[in-house]
Chains A and B, each alone.
Chain A
Amino acid sequence: MLINELIEIIEYFIVMLITAFAFAYFFGWLERKFVGKFQRRHGPTYLGKFGLLQNLADFFKLLTKEQVWPKKADKLLFLVSVFLIAGFTLYLVMLLPIYNFYIINSSIILLLIFIILSFLPILIALNGYSSSNKFAMISAQRSILLLISFEIPLFLVLIAIGYYVHSYSIVSIVNAQSNLWFLFIMPIGFFVFLMALLAEMERTPFDLREADSELIAGWLTDTGAPYYMLALFVDYIRSFFGAAIISLLFLGGWYGPFGNSFIWLFIKTIFVALFIMFIRAIAIRMRIDRILYFGWIVLLALSIINLYLVYLGY
């Protein structure tokens, strides 16, 4: 009895791993082409059919480059934090349910996901701190600031959803959206959730950790090639996770007009990913004190309003 459960978990693990890697690869390629189109130029075209193999070439080249260890850098802390970040992000993706295909359906799965998600910026700060580069130090300090100021609105919106559905298991949340998506029930909650998740995923206009015009490459300044590839991959997987969570919680997961199957979930995820890329191509980075003002005052107020509206049975 225990064995087939184990087999099921391993089977699920493999499927989710493949989807995460495939989506991360596809997201990377789509981003370069999509943002390229915004800038009146084509993205990579020569390799593969539409430049599809370009990311593969980058992946392999980065894998085989040399990692230069700066003298003052703390090697152990650096390695630990890089692999922990990768591990936690993959673990997050594992917890996502797809149609009737999931590992755990306990009633507190959503809280577990967001506790882990709030753990990531601390690891990123640790990584930035360990590479003992002045720019990485500043970006580590900023990642902590971002974490604090965007966690509370995020959790308030989750409480609102949980209260509405009376449980935190994603499957029941998605089932509750069968007739009306949460996007229409709590539009303010959707806006707050989107903004907070953008900050979590380091996307413009909140990409202060990797602000390439000021801090060169933020916490990635001193990461050598193999670990930079890992960080890049983790960045794309986190975007996949963010897009998937948004489409699950607010856009009614696998419920679609004809039959509800996991294809709907992927279409919505890709659509949200395109929206995130659109923001990256257009928006300007906000200054750190404006972000804190936005996080603490605007988002906090909106999430409280959203909580009241849900509580009053709106």
Chain B
Amino acid sequence: MIMKDFITAKQEFDKLVEESLKKYKPKVPVVFTKLSEVTKAITSNMITWSRKNSLWPLQFGLACCAMELLDFGASRIDAERKGFLVFRATPRQSDVMISAGWITKSMAPEVKRLYEQMSRPRYVVAYGECSVSGGPWYESYNIIEGIDQIVPVDVYVSGCPPRPESLFDALLKLQEKVGGKIDN
């Protein structure tokens, strides 16, 4: 009898996950949306393909994970192979904000302003324990536990510090999400 309840609960949970993911559709609020339906079909595929394959990370190294972020851009795990151009410094021209390091109270408004300055569509990768949940400093009086209290996060990378290869894998997962492969 208990097993039956367990199965129904699981099905309900899967349905919930499906709906939430279905709601997340990559919005395309820009010039091309005004074209007719046919061009929109073509262009939307082209747009998602282009967005998927050229994610430009914003140079946003906070603390020790920034060292791994630099290794991610350096020549061993060369990020430019997959289109993650070496870091852009201006928020206007970058898509992905990889938050590497812990967020303190005096840094929170800066993070918020930087996120607002980035032009849509923008994504956030919480890289390392400190950005995911405050890391070893979760009790400190000056720390905000996790960047998802400030900006919506797309991909979480756990580890302290996670290896650069895991950041590469995280960005591949982000590409699947950007390409819309997850929900359809």
Flag whether A59 is at the interface (Cβ < 8 A). Answer: yes
Flag whether B20 is at the interface (Cβ < 8 A). Answer: no
Complexed CA–CA distance, A266 and B33 (Å): 39
Contact B82–A46 (Cβ < 8 Å): yes
Q: How far is the CB of B54 from chain A (nearest CB, A)?
A: 4
Contact B30–A64 (Cβ < 8 Å): yes
Complexed CA–CA distance, A108 and B82 (Å): 48
Residues of A within 8 A of B29 (CB): 66
Q: Which of B28, B83, B117 has the most CB of A within 10 A?
A: B83
| Contact of A42 with B78 at beta-carbon distance under 8 Å, contacts A64-B47, A225-B92 already known | yes
Complexed CA–CA distance, A46 and B54 (Å): 11
Contact B80–A64 (Cβ < 8 Å): no
Complexed CA–CA distance, A45 and B83 (Å): 8
Contact A32–B80 (Cβ < 8 Å): yes
Contact B50–A65 (Cβ < 8 Å): no
Contact A42–B30 (Cβ < 8 Å): no
| Contact of A64 with B31 at beta-carbon distance under 8 Å, contacts A212-B89, A216-B90, A225-B93 already known | yes
Contact B54–A58 (Cβ < 8 Å): yes
Q: How far is the CB of B111 from chain A (nearest CB, A)?
A: 17
Contact A41–B54 (Cβ < 8 Å): no
Number of A residues contacting the other chain (C-beta, 8 Å)? 38
User: Per a CB cutoff under 8 Å, which of B46, B75, B117 touches A41?
Assistant: B75
1/0 contact trace for B58-87 toward A, CB 8 Å? 000000000000000011001011110100
Contact A46–B92 (Cβ < 8 Å): no
Contact A41–B50 (Cβ < 8 Å): no
User: Per a CB cutoff under 8 Å, which of A42, A56, A212 touches B50?
Assistant: A56
Contact B32–A64 (Cβ < 8 Å): yes
Flag whether B109 is at the interface (Cβ < 8 A). Answer: no
Contact B119–A224 (Cβ < 8 Å): yes
Contact B50–A45 (Cβ < 8 Å): no
Contact B54–A54 (Cβ < 8 Å): yes
Complexed CA–CA distance, A60 and B28 (Å): 13
Contact B90–A217 (Cβ < 8 Å): yes
Contact A57–B92 (Cβ < 8 Å): no
Residues of A within 8 A of B120 (CB): 65-66
Complexed CA–CA distance, A61 and B85 (Å): 13
Contact B93–A61 (Cβ < 8 Å): no
Flag whether B159 is at the interface (Cβ < 8 A). Answer: no
Contact A46–B89 (Cβ < 8 Å): no
Flag whether A223 is at the interface (Cβ < 8 A). Answer: yes
Contact B90–A61 (Cβ < 8 Å): no
User: Can you spell out 22 A-B residue pairs with CB atoms less than 8 angstroms apart?
Assistant: A32-B80, A41-B75, A42-B81, A46-B81, A46-B82, A54-B53, A58-B50, A58-B54, A58-B85, A59-B50, A60-B50, A61-B47, A61-B95, A64-B31, A64-B50, A64-B51, A67-B119, A212-B89, A216-B90, A221-B92, A225-B93, A226-B31
Interface residues of A (CB under 8 A from B): 32, 36, 39-47, 51, 53-54, 56-68, 212, 216-217, 220-226, 228
